[in-house]
Amino acid sequence: MNSFNANCENCPVHNANNLVKLGIDMKDFDFVIALAGNPNTGKSTVFNALTGLRQHTGNWPGKTVTRAEGGFEFNGHKYKIVDLPGTYSLLSTSTDEEVARNFILFGQPDVTVIVADATRLERNLNLILQVLEITDRAVLCLNLMDEAERNGIEIDIRTLSKELGIPVVPTAARQKEGIPDLLQYIDEVATGKYKCKPRRIKKRDPKLQKAIKLLSNELKQLFPNLPNTEWVALRLLEGDQEIIKAIKTGELEHLERTELLSNASDSIKKEKVTI
Amino acid sequence: MVNKKEEIVELANNLRWEVGGNFHDSLMESIYKEAGDIVKKTVRKKDEKHAFGFDKKLDKIVTNKWTGFPIMFILLAIVFWITVQGSNYPSQLLSSLLVGDLYETLKGFSHSLAIPQWIDGLLIDGGYLAMAWVISVMLPPMAIFFPLFTLLEDFGYLPRVAFNMDSLFRKAGAHGKQALTMSMGFGCNAAGVIATRVIDSPRERLIAIITNNFSLCNGRWPTQILIATIFIGGLVPANLAGIISAGAVVGVAVLGVVLSLITSWGLSKTVLKGEASTFNLELPPYRPPRVLQTLYTSLIDRTLIVLWRAIVFAFPAGLVIWSVANIHIDGISLADYFINWIDPFAILIGLNGIILLAYVIAIPANEIVIPTILMLTVVHFGLHGVGAGAGVMFQTDSLSATKQLLEAGGWTVLTGVNLMLFSLLHNPCSTTIYTIYEETKSIKWTALSTFLPIVMGIVLCFLVAQIWQLF
Amino acid sequence: MNPQTALLIFGMGMLLVMFLFYPEKGIYYRWKKAILSTERVLIEDALKHLYDCEYRKVNCTLQSIAGNLEISSDKAAKLVQRLESLRLITSENSNLFLTPDGRSYALRVIRVHRLWEKFLADETSVPEIDWHTQAELKEHKLTPAQANALAAKIGNPVIDPHGDPIPTSEGNLPEHVGVLLTTLKTNDVAIITHIEDEPKTIYSQIIALGLHPGMQIRVIENSQTRIVFDAEGDEKILAPSFAANITVELIRDEEEIQKEFNTLSNLKPGEKAEVIRISNALRGQQRRRLMDLGVVPGTIISAEMVNPSGDLIAYRIKDAVIALRKNQTDHIFVKNIEDND
Ligand SMILES: Nc1nc2c(ncn2[C@@H]2O[C@H](COP(=O)(O)OP(=O)(O)O)[C@@H](O)[C@H]2O)c(=O)[nH]1
Ligand SMILES: [Mg+2]
């Protein structure tokens, strides 16, 4: 039954000793992780499995906590992990979506872990694809694999990973299955060992396509290293005030610079974080 | 550089005209088209017919025309029954421990230290006692009720209740999930208000918050039962007394539900008419609940937090309760000033000044209203041989003693009936008021939730009192 | 006090409260309205009226101002004088015209008006019939900066819910397009682009028919006495005087014409359907949420179960079971598909 990770039961990463749950002790962390996902996909359960905390979980598509933070240590790196509000999308003006959207863009998490429901992959892809528009360092945690298996749903993990351009880890967070793999991939993406090539959405409406191309070309000239010009262009069209402000104040330049920083050594990173 | 930045923003503004107002729609279509393509390549479903077979079968039963409602009521009844039965003994134990032994010990200790009497009175008789009282009445039912509810939530049953009840709530302008926040309110209104977070439509959520107070919370049931037993049960032959007074209490609770629906309807048609409203109710798959984790989190998340707030508010209230009975100006206590001043009005609405004062100073928790009333009655009328002294809340040992005491305070059947109504319809306790503010971040809605029930209570009590006197 | 007196006084008190606060007719409401109708309001309303004439290419006079603002001719004359002294308008043989300053002022007011209507339509549940009335009050209250903040908050919309373009903060406005519904011939297919919201009596009857911008119509009959047309599956009849308040744009491309108007609400448990389009009657948050959940053209939806009272249906949408109310599913167009497994 647990075929999806049985193959690696005794490889070194599965040594549970590698994971030190730090609870809410988050001093001097090296990397920041954001946890995004649809409501009721097991985000809090994953969060708890990583941090050893006990956030309220419930079988309710509704928010039970607004935002939680915790920490853990893996492979000698200290991680701070932020549980974002569960949302179906990142495009609207609701507070939840604003918080999640702005954190992923401006909070510059080193890795965004997207928790998705394996039994409803298509709907979850809505959010996944949107997140991949914003960030190019993400890991997909395909949770609830036990339920998927029980109901005869098979997912081709490798193809999915290729399609999305990011690591995909099947998990059953409630049974703590797949968490070691998840940690491993988080670590690889955070340290830059794994280079993501996130899939970007093809805008099918020609008028929209044209407008975005125009805007993103302008943006590229102004901010040559900005990785997500199409998303910024789209948000500009939607009149997102945060983005407009970020352009006017030059905060976007700051984003591109740290984009470079993330490839630099850990010590520089630490400085940036403690400032 | 700066110009270039402004130019881009300007360009976006102009492009918006060309793209048209509905590009969000086409974007969503693109995303789902892409999602569909990916799913086609990566997901294979074997035997789709039988997937989620258990869920489908169970859903057939719990949402069935004939079995849906009975199952729901039986489950809720079981939850309430276990709560009532299970909390009886621990409540008594806690009470004898905190209000009895520990209180005596503290008093003895302070005597041995020769602490001035007013400090001892203020802190121990006032603050400590109020706190101890609230804990012993509040903790056991909450520690049982919330985990049970959370188990149902974890299993996935609660959204089905919302699904079943939605018709009724839709007619009242509310969301089906309000059925659940109302049920939570029967445990504790503050927890009920927090639970409204599952309602993601702004208007319906506000409605659920404002009307939660109409669910008779666990702090008010003892008052209802006591008064009903004394005054309503007393009207009928002894062999019927039990059932009639129980009926009266249930009647008040049902009245609360009816008023909550009517108020929801009224709010949705008036002050909340313009608030945004959306509806979707997802029915997640059933999942086996994890009992231990549930016990732990519901204890931490709901019970302890609510309890903590109650304590924070109860201690100062105890100080006030003791003070009004013990601070005298020209030989008259503050309590007596207030009681004499408000009495004519209180009589007009079929209550008395003592009750109103008790409701004002016992705002932190409904649990301490009756002990405060008893204490004030003894002090105000200078009764001898009962009570524990000015400012010290107490309970009598028997029903008949309570009855005698209240009758000595001028209570009639009308006072009893109106107290039951007023206990249902008055401001929420301070914990709940604070929670409402935290959840809405709006003084306006907090004020409305606070004063609407009071006004309704006063009007209803007034009408009952005057019509009662007509006959 | 004896109970009779007490109840009597109470009853009288209630009457007094009603008298004071009754919506629209109560003293409080009238008093509020009275203090709102200041000189600024009159000036702005007059400019708006003049702009409207200009846009519709008709002539504006002192009389038309008096009529439109519901004030006496004397008052209107004074107002016109004041406007002229402010150099906001000029006159030429009793016809009144906006100066450039007057025009840009009028556009600022119109911008706030339409933004506010858009806000009400998308972000609140204020009924359609009240949008205009509330926007009439709001347009006099916001400063340009506040208007920009409002626009930003709702995503800088370009079209208001009646189908009118919203002037930009610089006062730009695109050309008027579309034709009146009355000019269509039998079998013409068109999209409603604009419904005039004044006068309120006519507007309220049009929206009572369920018509809204974005709706597709096909003319069945157009005669001197009436226009009969099919509006997304329902037959509607309007008198020409009413139809003249509706602007439409012809669809020429046969491909773009939607032919089936079955709605999701007609789907019975066990049946499947494919989404064709979400009607424009579902706006703002409601619309976005539905799309987030996967209700987009092309999605296959099956009706899964009904609640015990029989009026709430749960659908399987992209593998999730979601209950939707009838007032939403009435506006989701689908075409039934055979269940072939
Ligand atoms: N069977 C199964 N259930 C899970 C798994 N992960 C989470 N759950 C359950 O899914 C529900 C929602 O989980 P929660 O962490 O609260 O989701 P969130 O809303 O995304 O934070 C809870 O009842 C969890 O117990 C899993 O891997 N397998
Ligand atoms: Mg959660």
Dump pLDDT digits (tens) for B157-183. 999 999 999 999 999 999 999 999 999
Sign for the CA dihedral angle at B62, B68, B73, B78 comes to: negative
Distant-in-sequence contacts of C164-173, Cβ < 8 A, 24+ apart: C164/C114, C164/C194, C165/C114, C166/C111, C166/C114, C166/C115, C166/C118, C167/C107, C167/C108, C167/C110, C167/C111, C167/C114, C168/B13, C168/C111, C169/C111, C169/C144, C171/C103, C171/C104, C171/C107, C171/C108, C171/C111, C173/C107
Domains in chain C (CATH in brackets) are 27-98 (1.10.10.10), 179-256 (2.30.30.90), 264-337 (2.30.30.90)
Residue B341 in tokens: 């001043």
Dump pLDDT digits (tens) for A8-21. 433 334 444 566 76
> Which SS3 state, helix, strand or coil, does residue A20 take?
strand
- Rounded CA-CA distance B388/B374 in Å is 10
Q: Of all helices (H) and strands (E), which one includes residue A48?
A: helix A43-51
Q: Does residue C63 register a pLDDT over 60? A: yes
Which of C:278-317 have CB within 8 Å of B? 278, 284-294, 296-299, 305-312, 314
- Kindly identify which residue of chain C lies nearest to residue B347, measuring between CA atoms: C1
Q: Across chain A, what does the average pLDDT equal?
A: 80
- Rounded CA-CA distance B370/B399 in Å is 13
Q: Does residue C340 register a pLDDT over 60? A: no
- Ligand 2 center–CA B94 separation, angstroms: 34
According to the model, what pLDDT value does residue A269 have?
36
In this structure, of B120-129, B384-393, C81-90, the range with the lowest mean pLDDT score is: B384-393
Q: What is the mean pLDDT of residues C209-230?
A: 90
Q: At a CB cut-off of 8 Å and minimum separation 6, what does B323 contact?
A: B122, B126, B334, B391
Q: What is the mean pLDDT of residues C284-310?
A: 92
Q: What is the mean pLDDT of residues B339-354?
A: 93
Are C171 and C107 in contact, with CB atoms under 8 Å apart? yes
Give the chains touching B; criterion: ≥3 Cβ pairs < 8 Å: A, C
Report the 3 state secondary structure along A194-246.
Answer: CCCCCCCCCCCCHHHHHHHHHHHHHHHHHCCCCCCHHHHHHHHHCCCHHHHHH
Q: Does residue A142 register a pLDDT over 60? A: yes
Residue C206 in tokens: 């049009």
For residue C293, list chain A residues with Cβ-Cβ distance below 8 A. Answer: 88, 123
- Rounded CA-CA distance C157/C165 in Å is 9
In this structure, of A38-52, B319-333, C62-76, the range with the lowest mean pLDDT score is: C62-76
> How would you class A72 by CB atoms within 10 Å of its CB: exposed for 0-12, middle for 13-18, buried for 19 or more?
buried
Number of C-beta neighbours around residue B56 at 10 A: 13
Number of C-beta neighbours around residue C115 at 10 A: 25
For testing contact with chain A, the best of B24, B38, B280 (most A CBs within 10 A): B38
Q: How confident is the model at residue A271 (pLDDT cuts 50, 70, 90)?
A: very low
Dump pLDDT digits (tens) for A250-265. 777 766 544 444 443 3
Query: Which of A203, A206, A196 is closest to A140 using CA atoms?
Result: A196
Ligand 1 atom closest to Cα of A172?
A: 27
Number of C-beta neighbours around residue A275 at 10 A: 5
Choosing from B287, B290, B293, B294 the residue with most ligand 1 atoms within 8 A of its CB, the one to mutate for a pocket test is B287
- Residue with the bigger pLDDT between C273 and A274: it is C273
C36/B contact by beta carbon, under 8 A:
no
What is the full DSSP assignment across B5-62? HHHHHHHHHHHHHHH-TTHHHHHHHHHHHHHHHHHHHHEEES-GGGTTHHHHHHHHHH
Q: What is the mean pLDDT of residues B375-401?
A: 83
Residue B263 identity (one-letter amino acid) = T
According to the model, what pLDDT value does residue A264 have?
39
According to the model, what pLDDT value does residue B149 have?
86
Query: Which of A79, A5, A76, A91 is closest to A35 using CA atoms?
Result: A79
- Rounded CA-CA distance C108/C89 in Å is 16
- Rounded CA-CA distance B220/B211 in Å is 16
Q: What is the mean pLDDT of residues A76-84?
A: 88
Residue the block writes with tokens 């007393």: B234
DSSP state, C230? E
A90/B contact by beta carbon, under 8 A:
no
DSSP state, C266? G
Taking one residue from A and the other from B, the number of pairs with CB-CB distance under 8 angstroms is 169
Number of C-beta neighbours around residue A177 at 10 A: 20
Pairing of strands A138-143, A111-117: parallel
> Which SS3 state, helix, strand or coil, does residue A137 take?
coil
Calculate how close chain C gets to A235, using CA atoms only, in Å: 9
CB contact under 8 A, A203 and B26: yes
Dump pLDDT digits (tens) for A190-200. 999 999 999 98
- Ligand 1 center–CA A174 separation, angstroms: 6
Choosing from A81, A174, A179 the residue with most ligand 1 atoms within 8 A of its CB, the one to mutate for a pocket test is A174
According to the model, what pLDDT value does residue A157 have?
96
Residue B13 in tokens: 């503004």
Residue B398 in tokens: 């028997």
Q: Does residue C175 register a pLDDT over 70? A: no
Query: Which of A37, A67, A33 is closest to A130 using CA atoms?
Result: A37
Calculate how close chain A gets to B201, using CA atoms only, in Å: 11
Are C167 and C107 in contact, with CB atoms under 8 Å apart? yes
Distant-in-sequence contacts of A95-98, Cβ < 8 A, 24+ apart: A96/A63, A98/A242
Quote the Cα angle for C200-C205-C210, to 5°. 120
A24/B contact by beta carbon, under 8 A:
no
For residue C300, list chain A residues with Cβ-Cβ distance below 8 A. Answer: none
Dump pLDDT digits (tens) for B255-291. 999 999 999 999 998 889 888 888 989 999 999 888 8
Give the chains touching A; criterion: ≥3 Cβ pairs < 8 Å: B, C
For residue C123, list chain B residues with Cβ-Cβ distance below 8 A. Answer: 276
- Rounded CA-CA distance C325/C341 in Å is 28
Residue A182 in tokens: 């998840």
Are A199 and B37 in contact, with CB atoms under 8 Å apart? no
CA distances from C207 to A18, A139, B383, C129, C214 (A): 66, 49, 71, 8, 13
Distant-in-sequence contacts of C324-331, Cβ < 8 A, 24+ apart: C324/B279, C324/B280, C324/C264, C324/C290, C325/B166, C325/B170, C325/B279, C326/C265, C328/B279, C328/C282, C328/C286, C328/C290, C329/C263, C329/C264, C329/C265, C329/C267, C330/C263, C330/C264, C330/C265, C331/C263, C331/C278, C331/C279, C331/C281, C331/C282
According to the model, what pLDDT value does residue A18 have?
62
Residue the block writes with tokens 């280079």: A195
Cα B93 vs. chain centroid, distance in angstroms?
A: 24
Query: Which of C130, C135, C133, C129 is closest to C115 using CA atoms?
Result: C135
- Rounded CA-CA distance C157/C146 in Å is 15
Query: Which of C144, C95, C114, C124 is closest to C48 using CA atoms?
Result: C114
Q: Across chain C, what does the average pLDDT equal?
A: 87
According to the model, what pLDDT value does residue A258 have?
46
- Rounded CA-CA distance C129/C141 in Å is 21
A220/B contact by beta carbon, under 8 A:
no
- For ligand 1, say whether the CB of A190 is within 6 Å of any of its atoms: no
According to the model, what pLDDT value does residue A1 have?
38
Q: At a CB cut-off of 8 Å and minimum separation 6, what does B211 contact?
A: B174, B178, B182, B260, B263, B264, B267
According to the model, what pLDDT value does residue B366 have?
86
* Closest ligand, as measured to the CA of A117: 1
According to the model, what pLDDT value does residue A5 have?
42
- Rounded CA-CA distance C275/C285 in Å is 19
Q: Does residue A84 register a pLDDT over 60? A: yes
Query: Which of A196, A37, A179, A225 is closest to A114 using CA atoms?
Result: A37
Residue B320 identity (one-letter amino acid) = V
- For ligand 1, say whether the CB of A151 is within 6 Å of any of its atoms: no
Q: How confident is the model at residue C335 (pLDDT cuts 50, 70, 90)?
A: very high
Dump pLDDT digits (tens) for C253-288. 777 788 888 999 999 999 999 999 999 888 888 899
CB contact under 8 A, C288 and A239: no
A271/C contact by beta carbon, under 8 A:
no
**Structure pTM?**
0.88
Are A46 and A143 in contact, with CB atoms under 8 Å apart? yes
Choosing from A57, A153, A169 the residue with most ligand 1 atoms within 8 A of its CB, the one to mutate for a pocket test is A57
Are A212 and A230 in contact, with CB atoms under 8 Å apart? yes
Taking one residue from A and the other from C, the number of pairs with CB-CB distance under 8 angstroms is 40
Q: At a CB cut-off of 8 Å and minimum separation 6, what does C49 contact?
A: C60, C64, C65, C68, C69
Which of A:2-41 have CB within 8 Å of C? none
Dump pLDDT digits (tens) for B22-31. 788 889 999 9
Sign for the CA dihedral angle at B163, B285, C315, C308 comes to: negative
Q: Across-strand partners of A31?
A: A79
What is the full DSSP assignment across B412-461? -HHHHHHHHHHHHSSPPPHHHHHHHHHHH--HHHHHHHHHHHHHHHHHHH
- Rounded CA-CA distance A202/A116 in Å is 22
Q: How confident is the model at residue B422 (pLDDT cuts 50, 70, 90)?
A: very high
Q: How confident is the model at residue B48 (pLDDT cuts 50, 70, 90)?
A: confident
For residue C322, list chain A residues with Cβ-Cβ distance below 8 A. Answer: none
- Ligand 2 center–CA A56 separation, angstroms: 7
CB contact under 8 A, B35 and A129: yes
